[in-house]
Amino acid sequence: MTTSHSGIGMTSQRTRMRMVERLRSQGIADEVVLAVMGEVPRHLFVDEALASRAYEDISLPLGFGQTISSPYTVARMTSLTRGGMALGKVLEIGTGCGYQTAILGRLAKEVYSIERLAPLLTKARRNLREVRITNARLRHGDGLVGMVEAAPFDAIIIAAAATHVPDALLEQLAVGGRMILPMAIKNEQRLCVIERTPQGYSETRMDQVKFVPLLPGTG
């Protein structure tokens, strides 16, 4: 499929491979995730004016006060979500432009994704069609509520910083499943891995990150 971005030298397969090598050097060790990061054309998910910067290790604006996370952050969160295991059913909170959704779509059997901003969801649907992701079900809604009719989920990934873990999402996590989210703790944000066991939940705090806040409702 040809696009208006297709002639840009900075968006070539070689550029994606350089990004993958950088991610590997930054400590991303999940080769399955790295392979998918090398396949999905990130430049198609950002505004054309920013396409030449799509493979730099930076977040980029999407409009509406939202951003696409840096490649490292996407790779790190995806690796934590996988935990070295095949993914079945995944819930994503914060579809954004659909890039993380596309990565998950290549790794999981089913992806369910909720976006609170309708214009962004429209963009995400178009982007996912363009890269032929057909196993993702997108919804305009309140991510804090989750998607109870599709639960339980083997993994839940939240692409915005929470001050607490929403109870509804904890309940929708399968036993043996894991939730990855940025948590705002005092004056910093850290990635957290929450695992559900038959006995309850455990939480592990990881890297420092920077995300937009997790907001209720729709817009």
Cα–Cα distance, 136 to 154 (Å, whole number): 15
> Which of 23, 99, 104, 89 has the alpha carbon at shortest distance from 66?
99
- Residue 124: CB atoms within 10 A of its CB come to 26
Cα–Cα distance, 121 to 129 (Å, whole number): 12
Q: Which of 6, 12, 69, 113 is catalytic?
A: 69
Cα–Cα distance, 121 to 133 (Å, whole number): 15
The token duo for 146 is 């989750």
Strands 108-115 and 87-93: parallel
> Which of 172, 168, 174, 177 has the alpha carbon at shortest distance from 216?
168
DSSP per residue, 164-179: S--HHHHHTEEEEEEE
Q: Which residue has the tokens 């929450």?
A: 194
Cα–Cα distance, 66 to 82 (Å, whole number): 25
Residue 2's identity, in one-letter code, is: T
Cα–Cα distance, 170 to 175 (Å, whole number): 10
Is-catalytic flag, 4? no
Annotated catalytic residues are 69
